Chains A and B, each alone.
Chain A
Amino acid sequence: MLKKRSKVVSLEQAISNIKDGSSVAIGGHTFRRHPMALVYEIIRQKKKGLKLLGWNNANDMDILVGTGCAESIETSYVGMSMFGLANHFRKAVENGRIKVNEHSETTAIDMFRAGSLGLDFMPTKASLGSDIIRTNPRIKEIECPFTQQKYAAVKAADVDVAIIHAHFSDEYGNIGLDRNRLMENEMDALIAKSAKKVIVSVEQIVNEEFVKNNAHLTFVPGIYVHSVVEAPYGAHPTACDSRYDYDLNHLEEYHNATKESNSFIEYLNKYVYGAKDHYDYLDKIGLQNLKKIKRPEVIVYG
């Protein structure tokens, strides 16, 4: 019998498929389930000119701006939540080094919604009258052909590569989430479905039988997925639903490091360039710290 093709690749291989200048959509929101292991590998491979898209972002986009990987940003938020403004993002915009297309959460989601539907645009009332529609070339005012009411048309996102992080996958890229999960997951599915290529990091690769017996947990089926990387704690320092919480100490360490270029270089040399792969990164974070954020009551699948 012919064998099915495995989609499991190394972190390095997965990211080597991203070309400089690509548009890259990042899953997760605020400090929740950003694919940080994939982000750090983008930095290690020194990608340039990336057009970053998302719907609500934080340290994931900030570090890509700070390391010179990003050329433009489209999302509704780049901030460090309770720690304040995202320093690299802020400085880069103030110095004119990156271009931002502003979005409300609705219009940011609508660009992926249109992309995932294979449509050219989505109509919405959000952003009408605001400076978002005035400044963002992705949004234009249109008239409803039935009621003649004003609408904003949000042009579909043109995503070369989507990177998302999830709980598990089989080796064929059927991506699953634990039952105990939080709110933004549907957005990650839209981001994935709007992309030409989808790279997913997961907490664990599970056997095929598990997926077959729990198919209701699959939220992005393998037909959309190009490669899968096993990366336990792959969202660290952001949270991963109830598997582990955000690592506030580390997020604060990052935030403080971004205040000056010397401390940022030190940070990168320690955790990103200085870590040869994701497991080396986890060693640097340390088992004790990982244990602190882990939720013991989570079921671990075989």
Chain B
Amino acid sequence: MDNQRGYTLEELLVSNLARELKDEEVGFIGLGTGGRTFVLAVGVPTVASRLAQLTHAPDFVPMLGPIVDPDLSHIPESYTDHELLSWPCRAQISVMDCLDYWQRGAINIGFVSGAQVDMYGNVNTVAIGDYENPKVRLVGPIAQTNHMAFADRVFIFQEHEKRSFVEKVDFISGTGFLGGSDDREKAGLRGNGPYKVFTNLAILDFCPDTKRMRLASVHPGVTIEQVQENTGFELIIPDHVPVTPEPSEDELMLIREIDPKGLLLEAKIK
């Protein structure tokens, strides 16, 4: 799709995510992991934050972990301690502070990715299979629990595959809508939970009443059937499903200026 259409999947995701970010909102981006997860959960949100600042939201405040409002006109060549410490920003706070900002409700947007996401937007980064006797032990809940508990809106980034889009996650480490409807509110959580799911095939959201995952748009060249085939549960499919809007020429030009070396969108960072 890349060569034919003149933009990459990552650029499509960036432009659509940027349009969602509002002026004066605060978005929290993690610093961890590598490879594909890095591109989806760190690279795409970081470039989208800068694009939003340049197009419509000059006061959108990104937090790269505990680095508050870094100068995104310059992306460091690596995420080593020294580079992070030298990155011009408005505050270097402690991790404890970051987590307190979350709980206080000071952070609006969370960006997460997991090994599994289910039909109610619950996320799993702990174990595949029976928890007491797991088939694959994963890394643990990390700060995802916080993103998903406290953010006004959580964006989930995920490769669209049957094994990662499951009816019920094997372990809820990031709380979505639990079993749907008002389960989340009843559990005592303040944030609004998952808002949209961005994949390589589509953008999905959640039905306002049942909280079931719903197809919001399919990427150019992708069919509804393809999306359903790669989903391990029945998606809610509205009568009319639009095509995900493509990035404009201006957006593409800006994205390539923001990340000219592919440090973020091609995981070339060290």
B133 close to chain A: CB less than 8 A: yes
User: Separation in Å of the B42 CB from the closest CB of chain A?
Assistant: 11
Contacts of B85 in A (CB 8 A): 180-182, 241-242
Q: What 1/0 mask marks residues of chain A from 238 to 272 whose CB sits below 8 Å from any chain B CB? A: 01111001101000000000000000000000000
CA distance A33 to B77 in the complex (A): 21
A residues less than 8 Å from B172 (CB atoms): 129-132
For A32, A109, A131, A295, the residue with the greatest tally of chain B CB atoms inside 10 Å of its CB is A131
Q: Which B residues touch A240, using CB under 8 A?
A: 81
B87: min CB distance to chain A, Å = 11
B: contact size bracket: 35 or more
Tell me which residues across on chain B come within 8 A of A76, comparing CB atoms: 140-143
* A227 CA / B165 CA spacing, docked (Å): 50
Most chain B Cβ neighbours within 10 Å, of A29, A180, A182, A186? A182
Question: How distant is B211 from chain A, measured CB to nearest CB, in Å?
Answer: 13
**Cα(A153)–Cα(B135), bound, Å:** 30
Query: Which residue of the partner chain B has the closest CB to A246?
Result: B80
Let me know if B173 is at the binding interface, CB within 8 A: yes
In the assembled complex, A300 has its CB within 8 A of some CB on chain B: no
A82 and B35 within 8 A (CB): yes
CB atoms of A81 and B33 under 8 A apart: yes
Give CA–CA (A55, B131) in the complex, Å.
21
- A-B pair count, CB < 8 Å, reads 167
The reply to whether B96 and A190 contact each other, CB–CB distance below 8 Å, is: yes
Which residues in window 51-95 of A have CB below 8 A to B?
55-56, 75-79, 81-83, 85-86, 89-90, 93-94
Stretch at the interface among B145-153, B241-249, B251-259: B145-153
Segment of A34-42, A120-128, A201-209, A281-289 engaged in the interface with chain B: A120-128
CB within 8 Å for A105 and B173 given contacts A125-B188, A128-B189, A129-B188: no
Residues in chain A within 8 A of chain B (CB atoms): 29-30, 32, 55-56, 75-79, 81-83, 85-86, 89-90, 93-94, 96, 100, 102-107, 109, 113, 124-132, 135, 149-151, 180-187, 190, 239-242, 245-246, 248, 295
Does any Cβ of A come within 8 Å of B38's Cβ? Answer: yes
Give the distance in Å from the alpha carbon of A185 to the alpha carbon of B146 in the complex. Answer: 20
Min CB distance A90 to B, Å, is: 5
Asked whether A94 lies within 8 Å of B135 as measured between CB atoms, the reply is yes
Task: Please indicate the chain B residues that have their CB under 8 angstroms from the CB of A182 in the complex.
Answer: 66, 81, 84-85, 92
Interface set, chain B 126-167, CB cutoff 8 A to A: 126-127, 131, 133-146, 149-150
Contact A102 B141 (CB under 8 A): yes
A85 touches B139 (CB 8 A): yes
- The smallest C-beta distance from A259 to any residue of chain B, in angstroms, reads 15
Beta-carbon contact of A245 and B145 below 8 Å: no
Is B137 in contact with A104, judged by CB distance below 8 angstroms?
A: no
- Pick from A104, A149, A183: contact of B94, CB below 8 A: A183
Q: Does B32 lie at the interface of the complex (its beta carbon under 8 Å from any beta carbon of A)? A: yes
- B34 touching A82, Cβ below 8 Å: yes
B183 an interface residue at 8 Å Cβ cutoff? yes
B178 at the interface (CB under 8 A from A): yes
Which residues of the partner chain A approach B80 to less than 8 Å between Cβ atoms?
Answer: 239, 245-246
Do B140 and A185 have beta carbons less than 8 Å apart?
A: no
Whether the pair B146, A85 counts as a contact (CB closer than 8 A) is no
CA distance A190 to B92 in the complex (A): 18
Inter-chain contact A104/B145, CB cutoff 8 Å: yes
A96 to B150, CA, bound (A): 33
